[in-house]
């Protein structure tokens, strides 16, 4: 049986993004240059079951509107499957919610970000460990990325390496072993997409004393 690249779809886009074609899995496939025949998508938040690991080549976990602290059975089931996938050295990349789910699966702790909501285009800083990491070593020490999240990895799994951080987010990327990465930022979000998230969080931004118009003006596409 042939193995497939698996995109684990953990949620769906904002309703306001109906004017933008595709969804999380489509945006990821696009930046990876994958055609529809190159991957399979499983919507775990809808109860779709993950395949046996011997049918999987690589794994990407998307973002979601769900919170890791929600007592959802699909979160627990997915975490157990991901822990086994990491043990069997499957290449895994978790993005935003997927990053948090992956950290949780490996023994880390996820909770509300004590620094509040992070949304928009923000500077990401790499740590010294990133210079030795196969995924990050050729990237600049600082770059702009698009973000939208209220929860964070509060404690990394034992043995994980911190690779990136920002002003509001202490854990923007980590690696675990040679095959597993989590990134809090969204490489698949362009400026148009992240603007929808900024507008979505307008009321919370006001409560935190932050200006939505400034965040909108500062948005940018993710660098290649």
Q: Please tell me which residue in 25, 118, 169, 188 is annotated as part of the active site.
A: 188
Is residue 96 among the annotated active site residues?
A: yes
Is residue 89 among the annotated active site residues?
A: no
Is 132 in a helix, a strand, or coil? helix
Identify which of 177, 187, 166, 169 has the alpha carbon closest to the alpha carbon of residue 106. 177
Is 93 in a helix, a strand, or coil? strand
CA distance 219 to 211: 13
Q: Please tell me which residue in 90, 96, 99, 118 is annotated as part of the active site.
A: 96
Q: Please tell me which residue in 104, 149, 186, 196 is annotated as part of the active site.
A: 186
Is residue 188 among the annotated active site residues?
A: yes
What tokens were used for 92?
């895994």
Strand order of the β-sheet with 118-126 is 39-43, 4-9, 56-61, 92-95, 180-183, 173-176, 161-165, 118-126, 142-149
CA distance 33 to 100: 25
Q: How far is CA 91 from the centre of its chain?
A: 15
Residues tagged active-site? 96, 186, 188
């Amino acid at each position: 049986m042939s193995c497939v690249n698996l995109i684990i779809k953990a949620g769906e886009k904002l309703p306001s993004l109906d004017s933008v074609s595709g969804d999380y899995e489509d945006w990821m496939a696009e930046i990876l240059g994958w055609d529809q025949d190159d991957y399979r998508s499983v919507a775990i938040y809808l109860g779709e079951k993950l395949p046996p690991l011997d049918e999987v080549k690589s794994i990407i976990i998307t973002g979601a509107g769900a919170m890791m602290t929600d007592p959802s059975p699909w979160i627990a089931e997915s975490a157990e499957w991901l822990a086994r996938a990491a043990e069997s050295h499957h290449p895994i990349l978790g993005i935003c919610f997927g990053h948090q789910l992956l950290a949780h699966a490996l023994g880390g702790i996820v909770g509300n970000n004590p620094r509040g909501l992070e949304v928009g285009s923000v500077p990401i800083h790499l740590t010294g460990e990133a210079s030795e990491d196969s995924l990050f070593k050729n990237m600049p020490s600082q770059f702009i990325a698009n973000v939208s999240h209220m929860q964070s990895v509060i404690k990394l799994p034992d043995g994980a390496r911190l690779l990136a951080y920002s002003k509001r987010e202490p854990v923007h990327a980590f690696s675990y072993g040679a095959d597993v990465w989590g990134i809090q930022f969204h490489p698949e979000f362009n400026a148009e997409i992240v603007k929808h998230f900024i507008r979505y969080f307008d009321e919370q931004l006001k409560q935190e004393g932050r200006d939505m118009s400034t965040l909108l003006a500062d948005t940018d596409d993710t660098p290649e």
